[in-house]
Amino acid sequence: MDCIFCKIVSGEIPSQIVKETKHFLAFRDINPVAPTHILIVPKMHIEKPAELASLGDSALGELFTLIQEIAENEGIAETGFRTLFNTGKDAGQEVKHLHLHIIGGRKLGRIG
């Protein structure tokens, strides 16, 4: 498989790792849109959010704990941050490996 995120998880491609857990790897986006822009990817190749259920309930809890820990460590937990999955081409998903964006560190424009 020629997946850039799988290569980052395996260590084949270097990244600025922020945190690693049993099921997830968090690293800095190489093209940040804000002062804090971190991606969280499942270590297993998954393409859609619904497929996260295959990791089990404890993995979902692990993901939300990881999001909060990163926000606190980055100093954006109190001021606010955005979490975002882009799913499919119409949403702008460029890599077909599920990834959650944590974006913050400045006032973000309103969505919706």
pLDDT tens digit string along 58-68?
Answer: 999 999 999 99
- The number of CA neighbours under 13 Å toward the Cβ of 5 is 23
State which residues form the domain around 43.
4-12+32-104
Domain count for the chain:
1
| Residue 58 resides in a domain | yes
- pTM for this entry: 0.94
| Residue 89 resides in a domain | yes
> For residue 1, is pLDDT > 80?
no
In Å, the largest CA–CA distance within the chain is 39
- 39: enclosing H helix or E strand: strand 36-42
> For residue 112, is pLDDT > 80?
no
| Residue 53 resides in a domain | yes
Which of the residues are catalytic? 99
| Residue 20 resides in a domain | no
pLDDT tens digit string along 32-86?
Answer: 999 999 999 999 999 999 999 899 889 999 999 999 999 999 999 999 999 999 9
